[in-house]
Amino acid sequence: MTTDSPRGEIATRVEASKRGSMDSIPEDLETLRLEIDRRLAIIEELALKRKESAEKTRELERKLAEVERSRRSREEQIKRWEAERRAILDELEHDRTLLAEAWNRLEQEETRRSTRTDRSDRRDVHRVERNDSNAPKVAVHAAAPPPAAAEEDHVAQSILRQFRSLQRDVRRNAGEA
């Protein structure tokens, strides 16, 4: 028999003890008992390691499930944030469009108003020239507005400048988007 395996080693010792004297039997039994104890200790240690390994595996599986739940929760949260972000961006785009339309209407109104004012000024000048044939032929422009009207016009001009500045910013930002 070969002595490469544990059984082969034990079998070899048993064979040797059969050939030996009866006096060596207690020693051989003690050696056999020690070898069996040693092997049982190894088996016990392996079983304990396997149990610990199984416990670690269960713990790792539990942690993995927890991490997976956390990941899914984060993904859902990200999806909600992205949806909210898209809604806000859509709302901003809608507001930008409304603002651009309002600017265009304001520009058109300002253009109409300035055109009407220019025409009105020219008519007043022509009326003055036609109605007063004895008066010297001097181009008379519309009379200066009363102080309250001048102040209102100053405020309107200031607002218009602010609107135009804001309009340039909006158009510039719309071009970048």
pLDDT, position 149: 57
Q: Which amino acid is at 161?
A: R
CB 80 within 8 A of CB 87: no
Average pLDDT over residues 125-130: 52
Residue 65 pLDDT level (bands cut at 50, 70, 90): very high
Residue 139 pLDDT level (bands cut at 50, 70, 90): very low
**CA angle 145–150–154, rounded 5-degree value:** 145
Whether the predicted pLDDT of 134 surpasses 70:
no
Buried b (16+ CB within 10 A) or exposed e, 30-61: eeeeeeeeeeeeeeeeeeeeeeeeeeeeeeee
Which range has the worst mean pLDDT, 35-39, 118-122, 156-160, 170-174?
Answer: 118-122
pLDDT, position 140: 43
pLDDT, position 141: 45
């416990």: which residue's tokens? 55
Give, in order, the Cα–Cα distances in Å from 113 to each of 30, 109, 118, 136, 156: 121, 6, 8, 31, 12
